[in-house]
Amino acid sequence: MKICPKCLLLQEDSQFGQRRSRPLGQLNSRCRKCRASHTLAYFHSTYKPRRIALRYEVILKLGGKCAHCSFADERALEIDHVHNDGAEDRRSHSSAWGSSLTFLRKVLADTTGAYQILCSNCNRIKYCETVSYKSEEV
């Protein structure tokens, strides 16, 4: 039995997860429910605003509008790999929350012209044209 310092409830040891960075058998100080609420609060207060700001910087760096049709509403703009190597790029950074920040920083630092901004429609059309998309004739 252990007391969670956050909710101050006496709970079974099974309600506290194992600490990854500590020797086997050592439990987290907070219960699973309190850890989950802390993680969610961190996401909304820290990670999400950084990701939004970094994404906006990337969009501005790459021209601020779709490279094909000049659509400029940032809600529908996507970062596209010019050389269609997106799958390889995604495999290279696969950590949970850090992956999009890592990718955005990589795009921001890129000087080779490997990325462009496309709107959702143009990005989908490019995908269909380059991945030998075969539509079924009706």
Residues 25-69 have pLDDT tens digits of: 788 888 889 988 888 887 778 888 888 999 999 999 999 999 999
Residues 72 and 15 occupy one common structural domain: no
pTM of the model: 0.64
Neighbouring CB atoms inside 10 A of 55's CB total 19
Residues 42 and 87 occupy one common structural domain: yes
By CB atoms closer than 10 A (0-12, 13-18, 19+), residue 87 is: exposed
Residue 38's pLDDT is what? 83
Residue with the larger pLDDT of the pair 24 and 100: 100
Residues 70 and 17 occupy one common structural domain: no
Q: Residue 5 sits in which domain range?
A: 1-30
Map tokens 């909304």 to a residue.
Answer: 44
**16 three-class SS:** coil
By CB atoms closer than 10 A (0-12, 13-18, 19+), residue 81 is: middle
**121 three-class SS:** helix
Confidence of residue 97 (pLDDT cuts 50, 70, 90): very low
